[in-house]
A and B are shown apart, each in its own frame.
Chain A
């Protein structure tokens, strides 16, 4: 059973770079790593996804080491509006071959002025 472990919470100041690491020791060969962001009273929304090495988009970067047992979400120069819960997610293939899509407890990021 694929499982992720993240820090429960982090604080940062505006303008700083924030790195959130997720541990996924049992990641399967075909699994991708996906990160979501959730603001209060809203559903999560997709941030970034990767399989190996480094992926970058307009909002974040994702670093994945060669063994893929962890990944790090990097948010450059955070602002107050980046205060949210961030979830790391890897695949969970059931015996039926279906894909269960399990979220962990997430990391609560608080950005301070």
Chain B
């Protein structure tokens, strides 16, 4: 059974803290993604990584950075957490390309609250 695992289901952090959200996949996928989801806004792409140590900005990268040192692990870093980063964060992985077998698999999400 394929799996994308996010390290925390719920997280509460203080304003200004450095926050690490971890994601691990066991499918040997090259592509990994971080999204945030807010009511009425759907899923918005923060960053994605198309291979180890390779990354590209998504639509809303400001205030975030990422790390992909190993193929199976993709970390999202909030350099200095702010209250407007309170959100549900979703990690996904997929095989590159299009067509059969390239669908994305998602983790269960991390609900982050910044106080």
Contacts of A34 in B (CB 8 A): 103
Assembly CA distance A98 to B45 (angstroms): 14
Interface residues of B (CB under 8 A from A): 4, 31, 33, 35, 40-45, 48, 50, 56, 58-59, 90, 92, 94, 96-100, 102-109, 111
Contacts of B42 in A (CB 8 A): 87, 103-106
Residue count of chain A within 8 Å CB distance of chain B: 26
Contacts of B102 in A (CB 8 A): 32
Do A43 and B45 have beta carbons less than 8 Å apart? Answer: no
Number of A-B contacts (CB under 8 A): 67
Assembly CA distance A56 to B73 (angstroms): 34
Contacts of A91 in B (CB 8 A): 98
Asked if A41 is at the interface (CB within 8 A of a chain B CB), the reply is: yes
Contacts of B43 in A (CB 8 A): 44, 87, 103, 106
Interface of A is mostly: loop
Do B56 and A49 have beta carbons less than 8 Å apart? Answer: no
Starting from the known contacts A87-B43, A104-B42, 4 additional A-B residue pairs (CB-CB under 8 Å) come to A99-B31, A100-B48, A101-B92, A106-B43
Residue of chain B at shortest CB distance from A30: B98
On whether A94 and B40 interact (CB within 8 A), knowing A43-B109, A99-B31, A101-B45, the answer reads no
Min distance, Cβ A3 to any Cβ of chain B, angstroms? 11
Contacts of B106 in A (CB 8 A): 43-45
Q: 16 A-B contacts, Cβ less than 8 Å apart? A: A31-B98, A36-B104, A42-B109, A43-B92, A44-B90, A46-B104, A46-B105, A87-B43, A91-B98, A98-B56, A99-B50, A99-B96, A100-B58, A102-B59, A103-B42, A106-B42
